[in-house]
Chains A and B, each alone.
Chain A
Amino acid sequence: MALNAPLLRAKGADDLVVFDGVQKSYDGHTLVVRDLNLAVKRGEFLTLLGPSGSGKTTTLMMLGGFERPTAGHILLDGKPVEALPPEKRDIGFVFQNYALFPHMSVAENVAFPLRYRGVRGAEARQRVAKALDMVRLGGFGGRRPTQLSGGQQQRVALARALVFQPKLVLMDEPLGALDKQLRERMQIEIKHLQQTLGITIVFVTHDQSEALTMSDRVAVFHDGILQQLASPRELYDEPANAFVAGFVGENNFVPCTAMRIGPHAHALLESGLSLVGTMPVALPNAAQAMLAIRPERIGLVASGAEGAVACNIAEAFFLGDHTRVDATVPAFGGMNVTIKLPPSTPVPPPGASAGLVLPEQHCRIIAP
């Protein structure tokens, strides 16, 4: 007992937030979040990624204290937060529409949280100025939020959520309303701020490239279920199932039966073809599965080459940084496969026969 207690504490010590079997239903029967188990590490940038309606905002609202879990517990700093109202959680929140107080100046907005922490007068002014400088809005303190551009309002919201040095900052699609260029610049700015300040951020987006750019880890949601929690690279290279494989980046999918023969994982196709691949998550033998191959991982060789799968070129498009080829594969039941080739690769004309090279380590056999 005496030995175990410190060990236990050490185990959870770097988890700032723990979702433990959390469920949420608004109407009493449909579950919007189902059995969520998720730990957010201290200092981590964790993104909740998923399509519209997958429960990302709901998860964030429960963490912020604006919605109550129907079942399960949320631990903040190791302590359950059910009894803690939002104003006592010490969590910064950045909303998609910024939620700046329209009747207050920029400086008053940023000073708002300081007042409730007993910081007033000169010190408050100094911290507000510092926070505005940090988001490169020094000198804008006297303006009203409506007199700022979308990107500037976004930065004020950021300054307001950071000025009181919360242990955790939640952001719900904070860049959703910005144009592409500004969004990409803000992604990098937020990431830099997070790293220099060493804060923990839980970020929500439905934009996979945003999630990959910014996050230490990404939690992919679909229909209220956490599909996979992994680093961006792992998510891309080792998707746990077909949903993740299709949602993060592009993929070719071929239905198959999973088979483990000796040390190798095989995908048995309906045509009788058997391809050797990898299984990021072990599947039972003879399970229905999907063979997933990234377009940029497929090679194109001359027809009849050793070990290549025969195909017919349907179309080819030169796109500057790569060439995109669509090919029909008889062994895949006549399905079309998309291939991305380096721009300098010569491509056979439409109608020509060719061979596909499907490297073993890039053939993912995953749950459908």
Chain B
Amino acid sequence: MLWLPSYATGPERLGRLAVLVFVALVLIFLIAPFFVVVPLSVSKEAFFTLPVKEYSWRWYQDFFGNERWIASVINSVIAAVATTILATMLGTAAALGLARPEFPYRRAVMSLMLSPMIVPIVIVAVGSYLFFGGLGLINTRPGLVLSHTALALPFVVVTVAATLSTYDTNLTRAGLSLGAPPVAVFFRVTLPAIAPGVISGAIFAFAVSFDEVVVALFLTSAERRTLPVQMFSGIRDQINPTIMAAATILLGLSIVLFIVATWLGRRGQKA
């Protein structure tokens, strides 16, 4: 696909070359931070200088030895896990409902559900702050989790809806006709069939919460800081390469999650 057949003309070859160069530049631009952050995280020096002269794990030791960093990781994990559970359950239920042709105002409801993907994050953050203020949810875990759930929900709805579009409704009908109550049909027939979509939706939900900084800045106090917020404040006060170690850890986690999600997506398509 990438390479042209032998009968391609000169201008065609030139055009293709231009496309390839452009794609390569875009890719380099996208992964450039990786080549800065990762080497700096294993540099021995306390200043950000490249190329790295001497390697060491000291910033990682710093990271794992620092109570604040560890607390922020724990906060992030708790928020992300809770968000994942909530968003996956709600998103799957929403996608199932929206897949039914008789659902009233399907398109409008779907757009509303997906709106957190489009609305600027600062607006979500300010909105959450003002709204939760009245409810006493600021600086609480439930507040952060609720807000993150709203942000993560579209990802679950979209991935589950995609899997459902290839789901054979006759499987549900078969389950019912064989005498299984609707709940049993969901857990024994539908859920296993759409599991790849549900799991990759869950992974996206986890990633959304784990990476999110703006809403977390507004909604968390010092002791509830999440990892991205901790990094952000780290940059502001005392800049040192521990941040690079934290960034590398986040990056590694994102890559693993992305690979798992892609793999599950492929498997879902094949089934």
Binding stretch for chain B, among A95-103, A192-200, A341-349, A354-362: A95-103
In-complex Cβ contact of A102 among B170, B173, B175, B271 (8 A): B271
| A117 interfacial by beta-carbon distance below 8 Å | yes
Q: Is the CB of B271 within 8 A of A112?
A: no
CB distance from A65 to the nearest CB of B (A): 8
Q: Is the CB of A92 within 8 A of B177?
A: yes
CB distance from B174 to the nearest CB of A (A): 4
Q: Is the CB of B171 within 8 A of A64?
A: no
| B180 interfacial by beta-carbon distance below 8 Å | yes
Q: Is the CB of B173 within 8 A of A86?
A: yes
List residues of chain B with CB within 8 A of the CB of A333: none
Binding stretch for chain A, among B12-20, B78-86, B181-189: B181-189
Q: Is the CB of A90 within 8 A of B179?
A: yes
| A113 interfacial by beta-carbon distance below 8 Å | yes
Interface size class of B (residues with CB under 8 A): 20 to 34
List residues of chain B with CB within 8 A of the CB of A85: 176, 182
Q: Is the CB of B184 within 8 A of A99?
A: no
Q: Is the CB of A95 within 8 A of B173?
A: yes
Q: How far is the CA of A100 from the CA of B185 in the complex (A)?
A: 13
Known: A99-B168, A101-B189, A103-B193. A164 touches B173 (CB 8 A): no
User: Once A and B bind, how many residue pairs between them come within 8 Å at the CB atom?
Assistant: 70
Q: Is the CB of B177 within 8 A of A91?
A: yes
Q: How far is the CA of A88 from the CA of B176 in the complex (A)?
A: 8
| B178 interfacial by beta-carbon distance below 8 Å | yes
In-complex Cβ contact of A97 among B168, B178, B189, B192 (8 A): B168
Instruction: Select from chain B the residue with minimum beta-carbon distance to A90.
Output: B179
| A87 interfacial by beta-carbon distance below 8 Å | yes
Q: Is the CB of A87 within 8 A of B177?
A: yes
- Count residues on chain A whose CB falls below 8 Å from chain B CBs: 27
CB distance from B241 to the nearest CB of A (A): 48
List residues of chain B with CB within 8 A of the CB of A92: 177-178
Q: Is the CB of B176 within 8 A of A95?
A: no
Q: Is the CB of B171 within 8 A of A116?
A: no
Q: Is the CB of B180 within 8 A of A99?
A: no
CB distance from B47 to the nearest CB of A (A): 56
| A160 interfacial by beta-carbon distance below 8 Å | yes
* Contact mask for chain A residues 126-151; partner B; CB cutoff 8 A; 1 contact, 0 none: 00000000000000000000000000
| A318 interfacial by beta-carbon distance below 8 Å | no
Q: How far is the CA of A116 from the CA of B185 in the complex (A)?
A: 11
Q: Is the CB of B179 within 8 A of A164?
A: yes
Q: How far is the CA of A108 from the CA of B184 in the complex (A)?
A: 15
Q: List 26 A-B contacts (CB under 8 A).
A: A64-B177, A65-B177, A85-B176, A85-B182, A86-B176, A87-B178, A87-B180, A87-B181, A87-B182, A87-B185, A90-B179, A93-B173, A93-B177, A97-B168, A97-B170, A99-B171, A100-B174, A101-B171, A101-B189, A101-B193, A102-B271, A103-B192, A112-B178, A116-B178, A116-B184, A161-B177
Which residues does A use to contact B, with CB under 8 Å?
Answer: 64-66, 85-93, 95, 97, 99-103, 112-113, 115-117, 160-161, 164
Q: 6 new A-B pairs (CB below 8 Å) besides A86-B176, A101-B189?
A: A66-B173, A92-B177, A95-B174, A116-B179, A160-B178, A164-B179
Nearest 7 Cβ contacts at the A-B interface = A113-B178, A93-B177, A116-B179, A99-B174, A99-B170, A86-B176, A103-B192
